[in-house]
Amino acid sequence: MILPKFQYVQPTTLKEACSFLDQCDGEAAILAGGTDLMIGLRRRLRKPAYVVGLKNLQGLDYILKDDAGALHIGALASLTSVKKSALIAQEYPALAEAVELVAVPPIRHVATVGGSLSLDTRCIYYNQSEFWRKARPDCLKLGGDVCHVVEKGRRCLAVYQGDLAPILVAMGAQVKIVSAEAERTIPLAQFFTGNGERPNILQPNELLAEVILPKRPGRTANAYEKLRVREGMDFPLAGVAVSLTVNGSGEIARATLVLSAVGAAPVEVAEAATIIVGKRTSDDLLEAVAQTMFEKAHPAGNLVMDPQYRRSMVRVLTKRAIRKSLQAVGGN
């Protein structure tokens, strides 16, 4: 499949990129690593008038720590650089482990952190060739008025299947968003809309510039577990990320549990954290937390695996992630 016609633009500064986007009136697509966008262009899922390549932008591929101990990751840092970073290996090893679950090494070499967080949502009826899609009416995500997943559905059920977002949300990450006029920093959890048609809050004239991780509290560990068909490369079909802080008595002092790949956005499940905080872990407690995560998961039949199996696996992934976190932090 050949690419559609577009004008390719390569700004050299962030300000220049934002200024150009401001003039495009929503007719531009952003090209960073291109691992997701190029496939979408070939399938005619997007037909932009302009493609803005960020390859020549300087100073957005950093990984550094500030004086307060927070970690800053530029949006153009490659996944391989995150994996190999000594800072991340020391402070946030679970993030490096999550990166290793993304696709295959050649893709990780070019895929970027910003691009990974900005992934479009996916659906078996949407992520097809233009020829295949012509056999049925356009779905909601393509501007139609029908959902092919649920009969008479009026809400897009396309799934967010990124691997980095759930673990970063669990870690309390923030993101910096810039435009030609201003910049803002928000919690990563607020970056996602929960709407399959438009998965994040980025406006057409905005760019995601940076990810900020707060200083990791003592005796805190994180973990991410995913379900996929092929262990080597597939998108998650269900995912659970966990962050646990253990006090000196071996009790869970703080917990964040994030459910992903079963809806249009990664979602923090506060009810599950409430169950585990202030307690020492046990098999019964893990069962209760896993059941709560299971009850919050409502996958639709729009990916390659049976939705009920994906939902049932949320229990398994939750237990694995909690046990892995506790093992890393030296908890019971």
Q: Is residue 29 part of a domain?
A: no
For residue 298, give its domain range: 220-329
Domain assignment present for residue 183? The answer is no
Q: In angstroms, rounded to a whole number, what is the distance separating the alpha carbons of residues 158 and 123?
A: 5
Q: Is residue 209 part of a domain?
A: no
User: Mean pLDDT over residues 11-29, rounded?
Assistant: 94
By C-alpha distance, which of 53, 112, 58, 54 is closest to 80?
A: 112
User: Would residue 239 count as lying in a domain?
Assistant: yes
User: Minimal CA–CA distance to 157: which of 202, 125, 115, 192?
Assistant: 125
Tell me the mean pLDDT in the region 292-304: 96
The predicted model gives 70-85 an average pLDDT of 97
Domain count of the fold of the chain: 1
Mean pLDDT of the chain: 95
CATH number of residue 287's parent domain? 3.30.390.50
Task: Tell whether 287 is covered by a domain.
Answer: yes
- State pLDDT tens for residues 240-266: 999 999 999 999 999 999 999 999 999
268 is a domain residue: yes
In this prediction, residues 203-218 reach a mean pLDDT of 95
pLDDT for 332 beyond 70: no
Give a yes or no: residue 323 inside a domain.
yes
Does a structural domain hold residue 292?
A: yes
Whether the predicted model's global pTM rises above the 0.85 cut: yes
Torsion of CA 202, 236, 157, 146, to 10 degrees: 100
Question: What was the pLDDT predicted at 164?
Answer: 97
pLDDT score for 162? 96
pLDDT band (50, 70, 90) for residue 6: very high
Q: How far is CA 45 from CA 37, 81, 123, 202, in A?
A: 9, 30, 12, 18
